[in-house]
Amino acid sequence: MTIIRRLTLTLLALTLLALTLLALFPASPAIAADLVGDRPVRGGLTIAANGIAAPVLYDPADHPVVVHAAQGLARDIATVTGITTAAAPLAGQTPAQSPITPPIILGTLGRNAVIDRLVRTGKLDARRLTGAWESFVITIVRRPAPGVPVALVIAGSDRRGTAFGAYELSEAIGVSPWHWWADVPARRRPALYVAPGTHRFGPPSVRYRGIFLNDEDWGLHPWAARTFEPEQGGIGAKTYERLFDLMLRLKANTLWPAMHRVSAPFNRNPAHAKLADDYGIVMGSSHAEPMLRDNVGEWTDAADRFNYATNRAGVSRYWEERVRANGRYESLWTLGMRGIHDSGIVGAETPAGKIALLTQVFADQRAMLAAHVDPAVERVPQMFVPYKEVLDLYRAGLKVPDDVTLVWPDDNFGYIRQFPDAAERRRGGGSGVYYHLSYLGAPLSYLWLGTTPPALIRSEMGRAWDHGARTVWIANVGDVKPAEIGITAFLAMAWNVDTARAQTQRDFLHDWATRSFGAAAAPPIADLMDRWYRLNLERRPEHLHYGLPGQRPRPSPLAPAAIDARLAAFDALVADLDRIEPGIAPDARDAFFELVAYPVRAAAAANRRYFSAERYAAWADSRPLHARRAAADARAADALVTSLTRRFNNEIAGGKWRHIMAEEPADNQWPGYRLPPVALPAPGLADPAAPAAPPAPPATTSVVEAESVAAKGWRFVPGLGRGTGAMLASGAGTPIGWTLDTDRAGTLAIQLVPTFPGTARTDFRLTVTLDGTPRTIAVPRHAGDAAWSAGVLDNLVSVPLGPLTPGRHRLTIATPDEGLMLDRLTVTPPLTNAATPTH
């Protein structure tokens, strides 16, 4: 029996089932709350029921990514229902040639004959699809062709829009985008019914949305080389194909590939570019790799020849080779030039000389694009990233062609350094953001656990959107794992900024946990992870190393009571985790370990290890009994991190992730956070029956949370700061104020989240008025200096305001600079009455 014959019989059965349901439930303008449900809905359509599942049919003339998506959707339907179905090409181009019209028709406008016919005959309204970017519609169409009374149509405005539509349905039936990369299981459902109505999606908020694989030496590369595709010896086609599938499911469209020396350059194998194009992925390259060139692996001349001042012809040939080879594919071309690998441009010494050199580089690179991609070079997608030292050149007067997108960098720690002003917002190329969820570099790296909170992503990317950075959003995601939650938050916001901004961090985590682990488990998981992010915002596990690079390590500045409170908070997380874990479905326990249990237990153990070792060092001479007990705690915590990591690599998902997780990535390049093992307890001195260490003295600093009051021109940002949230200034210059009561003299200070101004300014201007006396304070914000380094490690900048006498005081703060984020006020010694809220 041919596949067409088998599909014909299946379709006839599905058609009869659909007709029965339509007769039982006449069409209604009401639209169900969810796209797919487990029960028949009036006016809806059956995808699967009674052992029959809808096939997914596509036009052979459609794009390769549509074929991949059709096959993926068919597999997902079978996974969820247990009912075998198929993805297959349409039997003919017109109903007259073939009586088959599939229950699910997947296709792109202009590339699918059946969909185009529905548009011509008025049965599919494509007015909002035609010419749109990456948009799609999912709708039920009656009598789409002779002999077929009803069908589900997924129509895309372009190739990615169609693929996004297929995977939107996949997620709606219960298949997580992370089903492979994080082993999130699909919920089994014996029947699937699509809600009635027309469901429209897109266009996306941000045109180019993607990720950058980076610093892969300690995770993704060894996993690929030794576990997933050892025949390749590293990240190759198998890894990239899995990654492309993930990206489509997350509605991402752009990739900067892995580029460290351990990885083979992406374009060394020409099949990689073809594979990316088949999946509809736009390939780009980082700020250090102009013109899709991986300098570390592809520049074979002497290093000092990578100099545009002395070797313009050689460097130009090097770039033009790539433009010729990749010009036929959809790409996002990075312009400019830096050193071979994340270093400054060579060939000029002064800012003026560097600007002149880069101006020539722009002209030559654009000439290559005009010659090999499109003579109208303004139609070629191009971007320029003023990263690190290049931002200073831009501020000094570097002119970027108007049609080139300016991609503004963060400071590598999640705080965007500059936003477009009114003139930059009018540029034809628009603006974008290069953001970090993972980082290798000074002052300290963070590659181990994905601790960037969704609240920070939401706040900073929301500011970027408000300032007009809407063309390109790229996140540095390190090894992908364990940044799954951050990647999800970042790309969800890039797809639909309004929906994402309407959620708090807790809301987002609740939705994420529901999709990953079910509605019953979601509330406690969301609460757990919300608290976990807040604790790690105070100090990431990788940053449990006090003292800046080049300085002698020093003890943490936390008071003993604060250390006790921090460790108790982590212990509470672990206790809650212990209560949640038994209720997780057996088939979801691998995913739960990867996404929740490992990061929570490992972060808790890392904190216990560090602070116990610190106490051992402090107590070794004066309190040897307690010191040796602290040493035992530190060693036990270190052993726990080792055990957890070994389980992640060797046991979870049957060893699928062997070599993906390092206990301390980059331990050979930057100061470590894993301290040398401390001395074992001497026999008898660490007897469990021995008395515990005396309680820590109470804290000597009182705190007034900035969000304890509200004020016009200030917005509450939940999830950031040390309290429930922080207060973000709109730049309107309106004051926010508090009434403070103290019975002792003390020192007053304000603490800020280390954001940057919404303009090109390098400081925040504050008008601080205490008891009616105003004064102006400038808070410098220079990425790279000591104050910035301390601020990003603590996620806190403290600004002293001076002495405070006993009694009642009125304090107000105003600023003309958008982006100032107030966390709290501190007074030493403590207030007797913390604050009297006033407006």
Q: What is the DSSP string of 421-435?
A: -HHHHTSTT-EEEEE
Going by pLDDT thresholds of 50, 70 and 90, the confidence category of residue 551 is confident
CATH number of 702-837: 2.60.120.1620
How far apart CA 188 and CA 174 sit, in angstroms, is 8
How far apart CA 102 and CA 53 sit, in angstroms, is 11
Q: What percent of the chain has pLDDT over 90?
A: 83
Residue recorded with tokens 């030559």: 364
Going by pLDDT thresholds of 50, 70 and 90, the confidence category of residue 677 is low
Token couple for 572: 């509470």
Q: What are phi and psi of 197, to 5 degrees?
A: 100, 180
| Numbered ranges of CATH 1.20.58.2150 in the chain | 539-655
Burial 738-776 (b: 16+ CB within 10 A, else e): bebebeeebebbbbbbbbbbbbeeeebbbebebeeeeee
Domain 539-655 in CATH 1.20.58.2150? The answer is yes
Contact 329, 277 (CB under 8 A): yes
Contact 481, 219 (CB under 8 A): yes
Identify the H or E element spanning 790: helix 786-794
pLDDT at 535: 99
Going by pLDDT thresholds of 50, 70 and 90, the confidence category of residue 698 is low
Going by pLDDT thresholds of 50, 70 and 90, the confidence category of residue 668 is low
Q: Which residues are CB-neighbours of 688 under 8 A, at least 6 positions away?
A: none
Residues 267, 268, 269, 270, Cα dihedral to 10° = 50
Going from the C-alpha of 297 to that of each of 168, 237, 242, 325, 712, the distances in angstroms are 37, 17, 23, 17, 54
Q: Which residues are CB-neighbours of 367 under 8 A, at least 6 positions away?
A: 377
Three-class SS of 549-604: CCCCCCCCCCCHHHHHHHHHHHHHHHHHHHHHHHHCCHHHHHHHHHHHHHHHHHHH
| Numbered ranges of CATH 2.60.120.1620 in the chain | 702-837
**Does the reported pTM lie above 0.85?**
yes
How far apart CA 474 and CA 209 sit, in angstroms, is 6
| Numbered ranges of CATH 3.20.20.520 in the chain | 208-503
Which letter does DSSP use for residue 719 in this model? T
Q: Taking the CB of residue 421, how many other CB atoms lie within 10 A of it?
A: 14
User: Alpha-carbon torsion 479, 481, 486, 489, what sign?
Assistant: positive
Contact 358, 337 (CB under 8 A): yes
pLDDT over 60 at 831, yes or no: no
pLDDT at 123: 97
Closest CA to 816 of 750, 743, 731: 731
pLDDT over 90 at 92, yes or no: no
Q: What percent of the chain has pLDDT over 70?
A: 90
Mean pLDDT of 308-312: 97
Contact 404, 383 (CB under 8 A): yes
Q: What is the pLDDT of residues 608-626, one digit of tens each?
A: 999 999 999 999 888 888 9
How far apart CA 320 and CA 487 sit, in angstroms, is 33
Task: Work out the mean pLDDT of the chain and round it to a whole number.
Answer: 91
CATH number of 208-503: 3.20.20.520
The alpha carbon of residue 733 and the mean position of all alpha carbons in its chain are separated, in whole angstroms, by 32
Fold classification of 3-201 (topology level): Chitobiase; domain 2 (3.30.379)
The alpha carbon of residue 353 and the mean position of all alpha carbons in its chain are separated, in whole angstroms, by 37
Closest CA to 814 of 745, 756, 727, 686: 727
User: Across-strand partners of 136?
Assistant: 156, 201
| Numbered ranges of CATH 3.30.379.10 in the chain | 3-201
